[in-house]
């Protein structure tokens, strides 16, 4: 039963990643692309967690934690760069 | 652990995985379906965060009950995502308002006496910078 749910989860999250990729390619504004990349990282975290459940190992969860931190920092840095023209003033 | 208990736990894990995956899918579908960025923000910042939370709950139940070891990383990821998602959404919306939107025509007037705080503060900063530096000459 968990295998079926995991297969469904992999398909749904992969389709979500493809839709994010479409939004990141089409735009139309810069902030749309930033939002799409941020959502892509969150979906990648979901994919990593589902893979960890499938393989019954917690070894990948540190990478998920690092991805969460870097997505937050990079999104804030990008928005700040667009707002102020500089990241650290 | 006896067999029927195991089965209930498996059903619980599968339920959380399916609910999480559906929410992640709906959030990303909203990202391509909705018309402009201020409405597109709703999908990733609410639905996708909830979907990842569902997957993390499923993973915690899986490792806590079936494997017998409690892993703390899922809790950390959940807290971090739930704390940072509103901050990210706020920053994206603010950058969008300052780059694309016109505060006179695109935005509805706020209810209070003052205008939109982000634009009012920006205008005050610009006017303060534009004033001649009399104070420095007096000192």
The answer to whether residue A3 scores a pLDDT higher than 90 is: no
Q: Give a yes or no: residue B135 inside a domain.
A: no
User: Residue A38 to residues A3, A76, B117: CA-CA distances in angstroms?
Assistant: 28, 10, 26
What's the pLDDT band for B9 if we cut at 50, 70, 90? confident
In tens, the pLDDT along A18-47 reads 999 999 998 788 889 999 999 999 999 999
Average pLDDT over chain A, rounded to an integer: 89
CA dihedral of B26, B19, B93, A30, whole degrees rounded to 10: -50
Nearest to A35 among B29, B41, B69 (CB): B41
The answer to whether residue A81 scores a pLDDT higher than 70 is: yes
pLDDT for res B44: 86
Q: Give a yes or no: residue A31 inside a domain.
A: yes
Task: Please answer whether residues B88 and A76 qualify as being in contact, where contact means their C-beta atoms are separated by less than 8 angstroms.
Answer: yes
Residue matched to tokens 């009399």: B134
How many structural domains are present in chain B? 2
Nearest to A56 among B20, B55, B67 (CB): B67
Q: Give a yes or no: residue B137 inside a domain.
A: no
Q: Give a yes or no: residue A89 inside a domain.
A: no
Residues of chain A neighbouring B51 (CB-CB closer than 8 A): 46
Which residues span the domain enclosing B85? 3-99
Q: Which residues of A, range 6-35, sit inside 8 Å of B by Cβ?
A: 6, 8-9, 12-13, 15-17, 19-20, 22-23, 29-32, 34-35
The ipTM estimated for the assembled molecules is 0.89
Residues of chain A neighbouring B11 (CB-CB closer than 8 A): 1
Average pLDDT over chain B, rounded to an integer: 82
Q: Give a yes or no: residue A62 inside a domain.
A: yes
Name the least confident of A38-42, A49-53, B46-50, B127-131. B127-131
A-B C-beta contacts closer than 8 Å: 155
Residues ≥6 apart with Cβ < 8 Å to B1: B65
In tens, the pLDDT along B50-93 reads 999 999 988 888 888 877 777 788 888 888 888 998 999 999 88
Q: Do A16 and B99 lie within an 8 Å CB cutoff?
A: no
Read out DSSP for B84-100? Answer: HHHHHHHHHHHHHHHHT
Q: What is the CATH number of the domain that holds A21?
A: 1.10.287
Q: Do B81 and A45 lie within an 8 Å CB cutoff?
A: yes
What's the pLDDT band for A11 if we cut at 50, 70, 90? very high
d(CA B86, CA A68): 14
Contact status of B96 with chain A (Cβ, < 8 Å) = yes
d(CA A34, CA A40): 10
The answer to whether residue B137 scores a pLDDT higher than 60 is: no
CA dihedral of B77, B82, B87, B89, whole degrees rounded to 10: 110
Residues ≥6 apart with Cβ < 8 Å to B76: A65
pLDDT for res B138: 46
B74, closest residue in chain A (CA to CA)? A61
Q: Which residues of B, range 14-33, sit inside 8 Å of A by Cβ?
A: 14-15, 17-18, 20-22, 24-25, 27-29, 31-32
Q: Do B25 and A13 lie within an 8 Å CB cutoff?
A: yes
Question: Is B120 found in the same domain as B89?
Answer: no
How many structural domains are present in chain A? 1
Which residues span the domain enclosing A66? 2-84
Question: Is B117 found in the same domain as B50?
Answer: no
Q: At A31, list the tokens.
A: 């902030």
The answer to whether residue B131 scores a pLDDT higher than 70 is: no
Question: Is B126 found in the same domain as B87?
Answer: no
What's the pLDDT band for B139 if we cut at 50, 70, 90? very low
Looking at residues B123-139, what average pLDDT do you find?
61
Cβ-based neighbour number of residue A73 at 10 Å: 11
Name the least confident of A22-26, B18-22, B121-125. B121-125
């Amino acid at each position: 039963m968990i295998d079926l749910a995991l297969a469904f989860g992999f398909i749904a999250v992969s389709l979500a990643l493809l839709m994010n990729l479409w939004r990141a390619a089409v735009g139309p504004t810069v902030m749309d692309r930033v939002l799409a990349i941020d959502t892509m990282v969150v979906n990648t975290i979901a994919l990593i967690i589902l893979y960890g459940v499938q393989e019954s190992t917690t070894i990948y969860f540190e990478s998920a934690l690092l991805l969460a931190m870097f997505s937050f920092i990079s999104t804030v840095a990008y928005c700040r760069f667009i707002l102020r023209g500089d990241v650290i003033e | 652990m006896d067999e029927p208990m195991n089965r209930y736990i498996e059903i619980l894990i599968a339920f959380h995985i399916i609910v999480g995956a559906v929410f992640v899918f709906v959030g990303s579908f909203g990202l391509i379906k909705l018309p402009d960025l201020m409405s597109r923000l709703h999908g990733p910042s609410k639905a996708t965060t909830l979907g990842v939370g569902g997957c993390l709950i499923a993973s915690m139940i899986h490792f806590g009950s079936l494997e017998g070891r409690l892993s703390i990383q899922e809790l950390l990821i959940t807290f971090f995502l739930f704390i940072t998602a509103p901050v990210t959404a706020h920053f994206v919306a603010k950058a969008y308002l300052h780059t694309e939107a016109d505060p006179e025509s695109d935005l509805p007037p706020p209810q209070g006496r003052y205008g939109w705080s982000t634009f009012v503060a920006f205008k005050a900063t610009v006017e303060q910078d534009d004033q001649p530096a009399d104070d420095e000459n007096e000192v």
